[in-house]
Structure 1
Amino acid sequence: MILILSNKYDVSVDFIIKELQDRDYPYLRLNTEDLAELEVTTKLPDFDVIVEKQGKKVNLTEEVGSVWYRRPGEPFEFVDEENKPDLGTIEYVKEQWSAWLQSLETLPDATWVNFPETNRRMESKIRQLRLADDIGFNTPNTVVTNSSEKVEELFEGRETVISKALSSPLISEKDQDKFVFSTQLDEPPSENDDSVSVCPTIFQEALLPKIDYRVTVIGDTVLPVKIEGEKGDMPVDWRTEKEDVQFIQTDLPRSVEQLCREYVSEAGLLFGAIDLVERDGEFVFLEINPNGEWGWLQKPWDVPVAENLTELLIEHDTR
C-alpha cells in the first residue's frame, strides 16, 4: 500500500491517485489538516500504527511499503477564523499531530519520497550549490551576505547581479501571501541599505541572456523541459510570467542528464525538481526543489510526471 501525506487542495496528488485507481492499486491519502477527523492508535512495544478512516481500519506498520510525503497541511489551516480555537490551543494541537506524523518516519521497511529530514536538509540553497559544485556542475559566482559592501564587490566587472531569497521565498500575511521572486539589480545597493542589512540574501552573477530549464528527476528517470516565452524575451525569474511561458519537452546532453541523476542520488532523494540555465552552450545549476510542484507540467504540457512517480512508488512498495 502507498501512503500519501498531503493536503486536500493538492492537485498533484489528484494526478497520482488517478494513476493508482487506473491500476487498481491500494493507497491511503491522509490530508493532514483533517487528521482530527481520523482515529489513530499507536501500540507499543509492537509498534502497530492503526488509522481508522470512514469506517476502514488500516495497519500502517503491516501494509505500507511506500510513503509519498507531499505537502502536509496543518490542523485548522482551512477553518474559518470565527470557528478556530484560541492560538494556544492551535499550537498545542499542531505540535501533537506533528509528533505523531514524525513517528511514521520509523515505519519498518517503508520507502519515503522523499524522507522529510532529507527534504529539509536539501532546502538549504548553500548546501545545494556546494553539492552541485562537488559533483561537477557549473555554478554561478555567488555571495550570501547582508553586507552592501560585499554585494558591491560582486558587481565589479559586471553590469547586473541577481538577488534571491536564501530560504523560503514566501511571506505570509493575513489577507494574501506574497512570493519573493529573483530580482535583477542594475546597480549596487547603497552603503546603509536596510533591505540588504536586515538579513542574509543570495546575490549571484547574472547569467544573461539565458535559456531556462526545469528538470524533474524521478529515480533514474529525467524529464527536462525548456522554458520559452510566448512573447520572446524571458524575464529574470520565469515564475513572474508563468501564464505566458511554454514548457517544451526536450533532451539534455547526456553528461548533463547524468549529472542530474547523480545530484538527486547524492542528495539522498528519489524525487527532485532542478532548475538549470544554459548560456553560451554551457549548462549552469541554479537550485533544486526537493519537493517541487509539477502539476502544471502534467497538464496542459503532458510531461509524464504522474506516470513515472506512480511507477516509482509502486516499485518501492514491497508490502
Structure 2
Amino acid sequence: MTAAARPVLVVAEQLDASADMVVDQLNQRDVPVLRFDAAVFPQQLTLTVGHAPTEPGWKGILDDGRRTARLEDVRAVYWRRPGRPVIAAAVPEPYTTWAQNQADAALLNVFAALPGARWINNPHSDRVAAHKPQQLVAATRCGLRVPRSLITNDPDAARDFAKQINGPLICKSVLGGRLPVDEDRELMVATHYVDPAAFDDGIRATAHYFQEAIPKAYEVRLVAVADKVFGGTLHTTSEKARTDWRTDYEHIEYGTVDVPEDIATAVRGFLAYYGIVFGSFDFAVTPTGDWVFFENNPSGTWAWVENRTGLPIAAAHADYLRGTCE
C-alpha cells in the first residue's frame, strides 16, 4: 500500500464537532478515513486480527459494514472521546459488564499495539495526563506559574490556608465531569468563590480543592497540537463568567493572542512529560501580563475556539495525523 493510501482511524461519538472538522481536513488532503464510535462495537463493527510470533504487530480487518481498514496499514488514530462498547440487550448481567470490558480492552489495546501509528492521544497516556493535582506538579517542573493550592477534608487546614492566602479563595472539583441530578439531567460543578468564615465540618464530607483566586485581565484557551500552539482569548463581561466562563457563554468576547515563547516551550515540555501530543490548556493572564496555568484537558474541546477565531487547529490535527508535522 502506498503511503498516501494508508488510512486514519477516527474514533469519536457521531455528534462531535472537533472530529467532524478533522475528518474534513483529512478529506481535503486525500487521506482515507474510517470513522466510527467505539459504542458500535461489537454489534455493528467487526474486528478480526491475528498475531504471529515473527510479526511486528497485529494484522487484520476492521469492518463497519460500509468500509474496511487493514490495521497493519493504519497510519494514525484520532481517539476523540468515544462512547464505550454497547453489548446486545439479550446478554444478561453480570455478563453484560464483563463483555463490555472485554470489547473495550480489545479495541484499545489492539490499536495501541499498532506499530508506528501516530496517536491524538493514546488513551493510556491521556488518562494519566487528566489528573488535575499531578498536573500542577508537572506544570511547575516545566516552568509554568500555578496558583497556590490546597486539597483537604480538614476544616482547620482550610482555615489556615485561607489565612495564608489572605485574599479571595475559590473551590473547584478535583475530578472533572458532571453530577447526575436525575435520569435526564446533569449538573456541571462550576468553580466558585468561597467564604472562609463559612468553613465548617461539612468540609470533612469529601476532599475539597481550594486555590487562591488569580486576578484576570483575560483568560486563554491554549490548544496545543504537537509543536503548534494556538491562543484563543476569552474576555469575560460578567462576574459569573469571570469566575467560571463555562457558566455564562453569553458574556464572553473571543479573540486571539500570540503565545509567548517561554509559555509555548513549557507547554511542549508538559506534553512530552505525559507522552501526549494534544491538550486544551486553561490559563489566566493577569493585569501585569503574567500567564498562570490552571489545568489541561487532554481530550478537551476546541472546535469553538476555531469557529470563533479562525485559528487553524483542525488543520494542525490533520497534518499531524497525516504525518507531515512533528
TM over 0.5: yes
Q: How does 1:111-122 map to 2 (within 5 A)?
A: 111-122=118-129
* 8 A contact 2:78–2:321 mirrored in 1: yes
Tell me the equivalent position of 1:309: 317
* 8 A contact 1:41–1:49 mirrored in 2: yes
Match for residue 75 of structure 1 among 53, 71, 85: 85
Tell me the equivalent position of 1:238: 245
Match for residue 134 of structure 1 among 124, 130, 141: 141
Match for residue 20 of structure 1 among 26, 29, 38: 26
Match for residue 188 of structure 2 among 163, 179, 192: 179
* 8 A contact 1:33–1:74 mirrored in 2: yes
Which has the larger displacement, 152-161 or 24-33? 152-161
Per the alignment, in what secondary structure is the counterpart of residue 28 of structure 1? strand
Against the structure 1 CA distance between its residues 209 and 21, is the aligned structure 2 distance closer, same or farther, given a 3 Å change threshold?
closer
Identity of aligned residues (%): 24
In structure 2, what residue type is equivalent to 1:241? Answer: D
Q: Does 1:30 align with 2:36?
A: yes
Tell me the equivalent position of 2:167: 159
Against the structure 1 CA distance between its residues 93 and 122, is the aligned structure 2 distance closer, same or farther, given a 3 Å change threshold?
same
Structure 1 residue 253, shift from structure 2 partner: 2.5
1:129-153, CA deviations, whole angstroms, 9 ceiling, x for partnerless residues?
0011112111111101111111111
Q: Does 1:97 align with 2:103?
A: yes
* 8 A contact 2:8–2:78 mirrored in 1: yes
* 8 A contact 2:234–2:255 mirrored in 1: yes
Tell me the equivalent position of 2:200: 191
CA–CA distance in 1 between the matches of 2:306 and 2:93? 38
CA–CA distance in 2 between the matches of 1:232 and 1:206? 13
In structure 1, what residue type is equivalent to 2:69? Answer: V
For structure 2, the 5+ residue unaligned runs are 1-6
In structure 2, what residue type is equivalent to 1:48? Answer: K
* TM-score when normalising by structure 1: 0.89
Tell me the equivalent position of 1:277: 284
Q: Does 1:149 align with 2:160?
A: no
Which has the larger displacement, 280-289 or 87-96? 87-96
Against the structure 1 CA distance between its residues 274 and 88, is the aligned structure 2 distance closer, same or farther, given a 3 Å change threshold?
same
Against the structure 1 CA distance between its residues 265 and 236, is the aligned structure 2 distance closer, same or farther, given a 3 Å change threshold?
same
| RMSD, aligned α-carbons | 2.4
CA–CA distance in 2 between the matches of 1:237 and 1:118? 27
Per the alignment, in what secondary structure is the counterpart of residue 74 of structure 1? coil
CA–CA distance in 1 between the matches of 2:293 and 2:216? 15
* 8 A contact 1:41–1:50 mirrored in 2: yes
CA–CA distance in 2 between the matches of 1:87 and 1:13? 33
CA–CA distance in 2 between the matches of 1:112 and 1:268? 10
Per the alignment, in what secondary structure is the counterpart of residue 67 of structure 1? strand
Tell me the equivalent position of 1:6: 12
Against the structure 1 CA distance between its residues 260 and 188, is the aligned structure 2 distance closer, same or farther, given a 3 Å change threshold?
farther
Tell me the equivalent position of 2:4: none
In structure 2, what residue type is equivalent to 1:54? Answer: G
For structure 1, the 5+ residue unaligned runs are none
Match for residue 76 of structure 2 among 57, 66, 69: 66
Per the alignment, in what secondary structure is the counterpart of residue 37 of structure 1? coil
Q: How does 1:215-226 map to 2 (within 5 A)?
A: 215-226=222-233
* 8 A contact 2:230–2:259 mirrored in 1: no
- How many residues are treated as equivalent by the alignment? 311
Match for residue 213 of structure 2 among 200, 203, 206: 206
Task: Write out the 4+ residue segments of structure 1 that deviate beyond 6 Å after TM superposition.
Answer: none
Tell me the equivalent position of 2:3: none
Structure 1 residue 189, shift from structure 2 partner: 4.0
* 8 A contact 2:34–2:68 mirrored in 1: no
CA–CA distance in 2 between the matches of 1:233 and 1:184? 10
* 8 A contact 1:111–1:316 mirrored in 2: no
CA–CA distance in 2 between the matches of 1:233 and 1:175? 25
* TM-score when normalising by structure 2: 0.88
* 8 A contact 1:151–1:189 mirrored in 2: no
Structure 1 residue 108, shift from structure 2 partner: 1.2
Q: Does 1:50 align with 2:61?
A: yes
Structure 1 residue 304, shift from structure 2 partner: 1.6
Per the alignment, in what secondary structure is the counterpart of residue 267 of structure 2? helix
Structure 1 residue 210, shift from structure 2 partner: 4.2
